[in-house]
Amino acid sequence: MFKFKKIFATDSYIVPLVAILLGLLVGAIVMLIGGYDPIAAYGALFKRVFGSPYDFGEAIREMTPLMLTGLSVAFAFRSGLFNIGADGQVLIGMTAASLIGIKWAGLPMFLLVPLAVIGAGLFGGLWAGIAGYLKAKRGINEVITTIMMNWVALYLANYIVRTFLLIPGQDRSEDIPASLSITFLVSFFDNARIHWGTIIALAAALFFYIYLWKTKQGFEMRAVGLNPHAAEYAGMNVGRNVMKSMFIAGVFAGLAGAGEVLGVFHYQSVFAASPGYGFDGIAVALLGLTHPLGVILAAILYGMLTYGSAGMSFNADVPPELIRIVIGSIIFFIAAQGIVRWVLKPFYFKRKKEKVL
């Protein structure tokens, strides 16, 4: 008897692809209801992304922090944790990189750049590690602590900028010396703000995969994520793995902050509200099914849709907020995979019958 559950045993990649198509279809239907032309809108979106080397480089720049915050959320999730605090960890990473870059500006570039990047990752990891410690030692739910620490990070970052780095009369820090810029290939991309953070993000994804699936420590983390009681019974230190997982997740998010202040803005603003990188990272992690390769692909899609939405507004007169409906619909179909499988079920039945004949 044909088992519906076995349909996607070898073709599980089809589910997210169809979810993306269904999300785009829902967005097109909403545009039609609103009186807009979806073909023109999606055409303007892709033209905005691929229309010029500058736009393509800026789209890559848009994807980069999403890769790292998505990896941050996904790494914690693989260990059975919900890192809702990536946004705060990004802010702490930004602040650490800004402090090092401005206060130690006299150091040679070959020392200053690595120190700023490493400092951002380290402090992002330590910030996330606080929630890991409270989870491991006090049993406090990490969702609550990471959400609360987002606000603490926001006000702490603003306090540090206002107290130690502020330009008088302005709501931003001093400029980080030009020598600290980590942009590259700017001439090829017509001075787009593409930077080395993209390479760091890809290296982080590779580390994610090797560490979790090719090392003993990674096996323990996944075991703790699947069943902490069974892992503890097997002799694994659950608390240590929880803290280690949150620290590594925070490092990823902190590196995203370093890329933004060193490679994009070259200064740090006083934020009136959270910048939102971490919350977008949650969506990217869900879209990527918490797998490092999936997260990279999801960040590419999310970044393209986000950056390209400006083209929808300028060239097709479509409100850019509609792209959030598309992204939300894709996430919905990823989460509700039963709907996607129900849509695909007739096609798989037909294919099986054809093979039998």
Domain ranges of the chain: 64-295
Q: What is the DSSP letter of 190?
A: T
CA dist 330 and 288 (Å) reads 11
DSSP helix/strand/coil, 298 = helix
Q: With 50 as the cut, is the pLDDT of residue 132 above it?
A: yes
With vertex at residue 100, the alpha carbon angle to CA 99 and CA 106, rounded to the nearest 5 degrees, is 120
Q: With 70 as the cut, is the pLDDT of residue 135 above it?
A: yes
User: Which amino acid belongs to residue 304?
Assistant: M
pLDDT at 159: 96
Please check whether residue 63 is in contact with residue 205, taking contact to mean a CB–CB distance below 8 angstroms.
Answer: no
What is the tens place of the pLDDT at every residue in 303-355? 999 898 888 887 778 887 888 888 888 888 887 777 777 777 776 655 555 55
Residues 6 or more apart in contact with residue 306 via CB below 8 angstroms: 62, 323
Q: 37-46, 128-137, 152-161 — which is least confidently predicted?
A: 37-46
What is the tens place of the pLDDT at every residue in 92-128? 999 999 999 999 988 898 899 999 999 999 999 999 9
What is the tens place of the pLDDT at every residue in 166-183? 998 889 999 998 767 787
Instruction: Write down how long the chain is.
Output: 357
Closest CA to 170 of 97, 264, 92, 268: 268
CA dist 62 and 195 (Å) reads 11
CA dist 298 and 74 (Å) reads 12
Burial 264-289, CB ≥16 within 10 A → b, else e: bbbbbbebeebbebbebbbbbbbbbb
> In the predicted model, what is the mean pLDDT of residues 74-89?
95
What stretches of 51-141 show up as alpha helix (H) in DSSP?
A: 53-78, 86-103, 109-138
Please check whether residue 304 is in contact with residue 59, taking contact to mean a CB–CB distance below 8 angstroms.
Answer: yes
DSSP helix/strand/coil, 266 = coil
CA dist 303 and 67 (Å) reads 9
Q: With 60 as the cut, is the pLDDT of residue 5 above it?
A: no
Please check whether residue 186 is in contact with residue 123, taking contact to mean a CB–CB distance below 8 angstroms.
Answer: no
CA dist 222 and 207 (Å) reads 15
> In the predicted model, what is the mean pLDDT of residues 215-223?
94
pLDDT at 243: 96
In terms of pLDDT, which residue wins out, 64 or 169? 64
What is the tens place of the pLDDT at every residue in 247-288? 999 999 999 999 999 999 999 999 988 888 999 999 899 888
Residue 34 burial class via C-beta count within 10 angstroms: exposed 0-12, middle 13-18, buried 19 and up: exposed
3-state helix, strand, coil split of the chain in percent (to 5) is 75, 0, 25
> In the predicted model, what is the mean pLDDT of residues 191-218?
94
